[in-house]
């Protein structure tokens, strides 16, 4: 299973905001911290705001912060909301052109694997990702003052 860069960046933004608490962060600050494209993050932040994961404050002293507690952000739900296509193989796609799909056992196997993958992620929240014992190291690695 492979998640897209969009989902990866969504998780990174939420991790960054979670470890710093209520302090407002900017897109540029997060981009610099992870050494990733500000343009990519702008799209991610817009959608996270739209979906209620973060709140944004405009203006000179504006920025963003989590809108929900880390314990209320389920990793499995976030992955489902940020992945455009969870089709592991072509037979899951509406554009499936594989001739053997009606009799092939792979579709059910991959379906079971995808279900298990998501069920594992459903067990975890953002709070699990940023466990308290790792918070100091996360702050240092992300260069959050």
pLDDT in tens, 6-40: 999 999 999 999 998 889 999 999 999 999 999 99
Could you state, in order of their start, the residue ranges of all structural domains in the chain? Answer: 5-86+125-141
Matching CATH number, 5-86+125-141, of 1.10.10.10, 3.40.50.300, 3.20.20.140, 1.10.3720.10: 1.10.10.10
Query: Residue 137: what pLDDT?
Result: 86
Query: Residue 145: what pLDDT?
Result: 63
pTM of the model: 0.87
Query: Residue 85: what pLDDT?
Result: 80
Question: What gap in Å lies between CA 15 and CA 56, rounded to an integer?
Answer: 16
Query: Residue 63: what pLDDT?
Result: 95
Residues contacting 3, CB < 8 A, separation 6+: 79, 83
Query: Residue 17: what pLDDT?
Result: 96
Burial class from Cβ neighbours inside 10 Å (0-12, 13-18, 19+) for residue 33 reads middle
Query: Residue 99: what pLDDT?
Result: 80
Q: Cα dihedral sign for 129, 134, 136, 142?
A: negative
Cβ contact 80:115 at 8 Å: no
Low-confidence ranges of the chain (pLDDT < 70): 1, 89-91, 145
């Amino acid at each position: 299973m492979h998640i897209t860069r969009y989902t990866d960046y969504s998780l990174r933004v939420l991790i960054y905001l979670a470890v710093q608490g209520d302090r407002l962060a900017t897109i540029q600050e997060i981009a610099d911290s992870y050494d990733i494209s500000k343009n990519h993050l702008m799209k991610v932040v817009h959608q996270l705001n739209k979906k209620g994961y973060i709140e944004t404050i405009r203006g000179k002293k504006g920025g963003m912060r989590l809108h929900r507690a880390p314990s209320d952000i389920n990793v499995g739900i976030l992955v489902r909301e940020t992945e455009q296509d969870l089709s592991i193989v072509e037979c899951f796609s509406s554009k499936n052109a594989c001739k053997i799909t009606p009799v092939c056992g792979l579709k059910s196997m991959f379906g079971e694997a995808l279900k298990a993958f998501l069920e594992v992620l459903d067990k975890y929240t953002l709070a699990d990702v940023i466990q308290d014992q790792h918070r100091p190291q996360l702050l240092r690695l992300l260069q959050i003052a």
